[in-house]
Structure 1
């Protein structure tokens, strides 16, 4: 019996030998029969692997599992030392989800819900990391992953074979390239002059060190009040001697109302899991939430409107925006009512009127993705916490701290940068990904960001985006599950029909792009997101072309788009056939052998 520890090249030689060719192979003795134990592999002289995945976070792990089920050979490269992706790197104090536990998990096998349960309504970074590690090990997926190895480039050749080069200079070839880098994997670097001159401690939240950081008795600055800053500030405030917060743009922070999940609720979550997940898959943002069936105008009465907002506020998290009034995203009147309600809540919680007004956004609610907070506004009532508005200031660092262009000078022992991410396109643009014309994906997207339903890009054959741009804006695990199932279905079609290449037509790209823009323009924040600096249009990154990074037509409409495509036989896609080899895979001018066609006793 031939084991699986041989390289692809050796296995190919053995298989060719079984068909009448007998090259010399060290350590191999030819016999009258060849029993090949490689039923889950395709051996090819053309490519090292059938598929290469980049990233081992949620999207990478889910993708690996799907590819293994298709009996494709898989290699995954991960820059970190463990699985987790964003949840591996973002281990700063207070890091946790803002999606509820029952819809923030891997879901490719029903057994997962029985083998794993989160501890809190909004799982902590540590708990999410444990979940991903547990599933990876439980399903033996770690064997496919090479850790501590960042991908530098990915180039496709005229034979539709991708060459993946890692930072150590090694190359790997594959037929299918699946970058699963996630929407929030490239942190915005501190752009401030003088950073090298600063002599204190400084950290980026998105690359937080694994060692324990001591905040006690220190003068600390947090730069940024987005989702990351909102989580960090309440956690370190009690330990700091003095905490200063630099804010450029305030956010509408929704209360999380987090709690421990006891054994009774855990049992209820498991029992209802299938129904919960099914509902989330049909909700606009992939959450287990329900439309209210009412608009602000349909209610009319001011007291009743207040009661409805109160109920959403007390429920916590995104229930406020999805279960109060259905027209918060489309009606200026309803949106302003919600905006003013939150401002009043801020003023009621924050005791100092001047600080409260600084924390009150002037732009419309939902122009930026609202963070989910846990005693965020309450932190500003502490005597050791100070809020500084730097909206009109430039800042520079010097050896002891920071100076502002308005003349302020601050000394700090520690600075924490919570500046957000180059969302959706950052990782793929940073990687040197080159398509069939030799042009980089980053250059293509710098001119015009286009995809086909967030999965394919014209001119980049056999590349499937996983959790990249133009997927629905919402809860990633639910969106991811739908996307990867469709990718798997498409790959199965290619394998069964022996199709060597997949690309997308120019017409199909244009049709999707038109639909994407139409869906975005139907929202109120189409007018305000850029001015507010929203990361979902790239407005938080200086020099980045502002564009629509996600799909705002909702998960059900996006799912229907993909399903209609596959049910109709993929009419929008261009498939290319290669040469068919008897009992083999299709290739473009080179032999491959499909081990699924081989049986004991060849």
Structure 2
């Protein structure tokens, strides 16, 4: 065999109909659906295992704050019956085992390439195909690329002077090492108190010599109220699969929760206090999704609920000064993504745990031996960065995507994302990104699952009509993007939250969610399919791939 023939054969082996990027909850489902629809498919993943967020985030006490069974897949009744979640809100090890089980159960692993971080994604207009290069030196060619890179996959660490000089250990919660970190007897600094920060604080407090928590913004944290799933509940979940799936497939939040269909002001003050106590003791997101229907829109109800929460904090945290620092100022409940924790406030009653309000005492620099603030230097052995992510667009902007005419995605989105249904962008034919910006406003796997189904249906439509190329029109993209940017009042989240990219210096503050919600997305998808995908342009390639 000649060298040119060998090269051609290798290129053929690396050519597929659909190339999926990312082995998280969305990418795994995308690979499954593409194969089920008869496409040749491959998935490339930067890590060495599956799970996406739940592969990288393996810090102590990392866990769901969506009910486990509402986060998992619904495409197989057999899978639902075979897998039993042990807890209402499963921890990272169990979540990672679940995704590995799914991949092996449906024989998906043979089509996954691990250790393959995407470095370039380039469209060839004559052939209507993409060339994707990865960090392992491979080059993959595909008719369609689906970037299922997720919204929480690019960890952010603030540019604090001296960070590179620190001689101790440093870890970001979103890039946690597989080898357990030894905290015993260590002086630990934790910077950031979002969803991951509040989970890790109580998890390590009893191991460390000291734990200093640096808080930029206090959030309205409420108890996760986790519990084992007992055999009776397991049996009930299995018996009710069809109705549960129907609810989750149509629920606007993507949960099994039911909003309380009355105003808080319909109840007496005494009834409201009883209701607030019920919500406090309820699981996870029910504090938001089963609250009074006007809790986030009625200032009186929101303020009263926040005062109830403030009273809880003051009642738990013994030191009044620390309690006041933990009570949010300047935003009501729902203004930012609410975190859920277990024993978080109680941890501040331990003598070795300290809270620093960065608004009062900012960090001035990281030194070789610790953290220096306006009040002086503190020696530290381990720094934990719980400082969040470049949400929504971060991963997509780092794939080196070059569309029609060499158009760079990161330049096209320089002023914020421009999308259609949160899955496609004009100027980037045969390129989709379910689970990206403008997609969700609730339980992410349920929203991204809708988008994956839409993408596969669109690809099948393209194939059945003998086309090679599908591309959304600029007009359709403009309409959807304008709707996203003008519908912020439909969501309670403030523009100062990471849902607008406000946590990343220099990033434009733009809508990154879908404030119109899931029903609007599903209605739009149904209308597009009825209209034979009229918002897309289809064509034949002018050259063989």
TM-score by length of structure 2 reads: 0.95
Which residue matches 1:583?
Answer: none
Of 531, 543, 550, 2:513 maps to 550
Query: What's the offset of the Cα at 1:498?
Result: 1.1
Which residue matches 1:419?
Answer: 387
> Do residues 496 (structure 1) and 472 (structure 2) align?
no
1:196 and 1:510 mapped to 2: Cα distance?
Answer: 43
> Do residues 102 (structure 1) and 69 (structure 2) align?
yes
Query: What's the offset of the Cα at 1:310?
Result: 1.1
> Do residues 567 (structure 1) and 530 (structure 2) align?
yes
CA contact (8 A) 1:47 1:175 kept: no
1:194 and 1:518 mapped to 2: Cα distance?
Answer: 41
Tell me which moved more, 439-448 or 369-378: 439-448
Number of matched pairs: 538
Per-residue CA deviations over 1:164-186 (Å, capped at 9, x if unaligned) read 01123331111001001111000
> Do residues 76 (structure 1) and 39 (structure 2) align?
no
Query: What's the offset of the Cα at 1:104?
Result: 1.2
Of 223, 242, 250, 1:274 maps to 242
Which residue matches 2:542?
Answer: 588
> Do residues 452 (structure 1) and 420 (structure 2) align?
yes
Query: What's the offset of the Cα at 1:351?
Result: 1.1
TM-score by length of structure 1 reads: 0.86
Which residue matches 1:400?
Answer: 369
Of 20, 25, 28, 1:58 maps to 25
1:498 and 1:327 mapped to 2: Cα distance?
Answer: 50
1:92 and 1:556 mapped to 2: Cα distance?
Answer: 35
CA contact (8 A) 1:89 1:208 kept: yes
CA contact (8 A) 1:198 1:400 kept: yes
Tell me which moved more, 564-573 or 85-94: 564-573
Query: Structure 2: which 5+ residue stretches go unaligned?
Result: none
Query: What's the offset of the Cα at 1:423?
Result: 0.8
Query: What's the offset of the Cα at 1:458?
Result: 0.5
Which residue matches 2:310?
Answer: 343
> Do residues 470 (structure 1) and 438 (structure 2) align?
yes
Query: Structure 1: which 5+ residue stretches go unaligned?
Result: 1-5, 12-43, 579-586, 593-602
Which residue matches 1:311?
Answer: 278
Which aligned pairs between 1:81-230 and structure 2 lie closer than 5 A? 81-159=48-126, 160-230=128-198
Kindly tell me: are residues 7 and 136 of structure 1, through their superposed partners in 2, closer, same or farther at Cα, counting changes over 3 Å? farther
Query: What's the offset of the Cα at 1:46?
Result: 12
CA contact (8 A) 1:107 1:481 kept: no
Query: What's the offset of the Cα at 1:45?
Result: 6.6
1:491 and 1:348 mapped to 2: Cα distance?
Answer: 56
Kindly tell me: are residues 490 and 139 of structure 1, through their superposed partners in 2, closer, same or farther at Cα, counting changes over 3 Å? same
Q: Could you say what secondary structure the match of 2:431 adopts?
A: coil
Superposed CA RMSD in Å reads 1.9
Query: What's the offset of the Cα at 1:543?
Result: 1.1
Query: What's the offset of the Cα at 1:549?
Result: 0.4
CA contact (8 A) 2:129 2:143 kept: yes
* Runs ≥4 residues deviating over 6 A: 44-47
> Do residues 535 (structure 1) and 498 (structure 2) align?
yes
Per-residue CA deviations over 1:66-99 (Å, capped at 9, x if unaligned) read 1101111112110101111111111000100110
Query: What's the offset of the Cα at 1:316?
Result: 2.5
1:339 and 1:102 mapped to 2: Cα distance?
Answer: 30
CA contact (8 A) 1:280 1:289 kept: no
Tell me which moved more, 486-495 or 276-285: 276-285
Which residue matches 1:595?
Answer: none
1:371 and 1:261 mapped to 2: Cα distance?
Answer: 22
CA contact (8 A) 1:101 1:118 kept: yes
Determine which structure has more spread, i.e. the larger CA radius of gyration: 1
